Amino acid sequence: MATIPLMEPVYKGSQGPVFFAAGFRPFFLFAAIQAAVMLPLWLLAFAGHLPVAANWNPVVWHSHAMVFGLGGAAVGGFLLTAVPNWTNSHHVSGKPLMALFALWLGGRAAVAMAGILPPALVAVVDLGYLPLLAFLLAKPLIQAGKWRNIVFLPILGVLWLAGMCAHIEALTGKAVGLKGVTLGIFVLLLMIAIVGGRIIPSFTQNWLRMQGRPVEVAPVGWIESGGAGAIVALAGLAQVLAPSSPVAGALLLLAAVVHAWRLSGWHGLKTLSSPILVVLHVGYAWMVLGFALLGLSAFIEALPPSAALHALTAGSIATMIIAVMSRAALGHAGHPLVVAKATVWAYGLISAGALLRVVAPVIPDGMMALTMAGGSLWTLGWILYVVVYFPICTKPRADGRPG
């Protein structure tokens, strides 16, 4: 089975402040800060206590912050750390990393001030991050001939296009923002299908072998040869073009079956004693549940699509992000792969918050209370992550090595 091992990239001496010595440091930390700051602001807006920029659909504004803020930072941090390992090349650090981070941070500030700044300026600043990220990653991937991993470059291109759609609504008044956000969500889910399918069974096999309980993961050929990603792409395209249609619903239900089948072969129940490992299985399970709920919502009127979307976003995407970030940051900062108790609580709080957010639209009378409670728990999970990982991301490696 193909794997993406999260090993050490090549480090070549000092490249400036330690915070910009490796991509995971600024992006993994600020992805969590973005989540911990922007979700409470959305809760205030949802309750009517905070105005949202007049030229932004409030739902698009909130979703954009999560998909392109939190998601964009997490994707950048992961790829900046993984690509040097795949290609045996020097990692991005120092001034190039500072410039990339400044673009991401500038985009967050611009969108936050969308009611004050001209919409065109907001779009230009916000849309600059992903092209530079792709440029920095393209050279080592192409030079090393890693064609199998070059797939992440067009994926970044589609994510950029999704972000553009969100801005077009603000620029032109054309209602394409929600389509852009939906496309962005499915791009992130596609990355989970690809990356999760490589690292989860690999990490599980390795850990169980170390525990003296070796297992074999028998891959289903057509699923691992592209079927897993293809069904996510098809279902996502159908949901973007014809949301909640019977065709989209059927493809989403098929995606749920395919990925449930895939997940069932990864021996997740045997990892319950390892929080840093079982959380990866939980994040993937959230994706299966989200596909099933979104597919069923096309045929069951009482099941709002928003409930399913939060299973995919607040549930799957957020859980997979914190799972990968908490593991990769420890390893690449020279710490043992053992998470703190506070991080375990963060895992649980994020899933608990997501669950309440999924239930909220189904119970109209309790929607406000459940949304506030779920959002508060979810935010607290990210705050705990920031508290634990701030020193890990900002201090030199624990083992004294560069990076």
pLDDT in tens, 343-391: 999 999 999 999 999 999 999 999 999 999 999 999 999 999 999 999 9
Q: Does the model's pTM come out above 0.85? A: yes
Q: What is the pLDDT of residue 15?
A: 58
Task: Pick the closest to residue 63 from 156, 191, 169, 195 (CA basis).
Answer: 169
Helix (H) or strand (E) holding 230: helix 228-241
d(CA 359, CA 363): 7
Helix (H) or strand (E) holding 120: helix 119-126
Count CA within 13 A, CB hemisphere, residue 3.
Answer: 13
In total, the chain counts a number of residues equal to: 403
Distances from the Cα of 387 to the Cα of 23, 319, 320, 380, 382, angstroms: 19, 17, 19, 11, 9
Q: Classify residue 397 by its DSSP letter.
A: P
Q: Which domains does the chain have, with CATH numbers?
A: 19-394 (1.20.210.10)
If DSSP codes are grouped into helix, strand and coil, which group holds residue 10? strand
Residue spans of the chain under pLDDT 50 = 1-7, 9, 13
How many Å apart are CA 181 and CA 240, to the nearest integer?
Answer: 9
Phi, psi angle pair for 300, to nearest 5°? -120, 110
- Report DSSP state, residue 304: -
What are the distances in angstroms from CA 196 to CA 86, 99, 189, 266, 353? Answer: 16, 29, 10, 11, 22
What is the pLDDT at residue 350? Answer: 98
Q: What is the pLDDT of residues 69-123, one digit of tens each?
A: 999 999 999 999 999 988 888 889 999 999 999 999 999 999 988 888 899 999 9
- pLDDT at site 215: 87
Query: What's the gap between Cα 163 and its chain centre?
Result: 15
SS3 250: helix
Residue with tokens 């990210």: 382
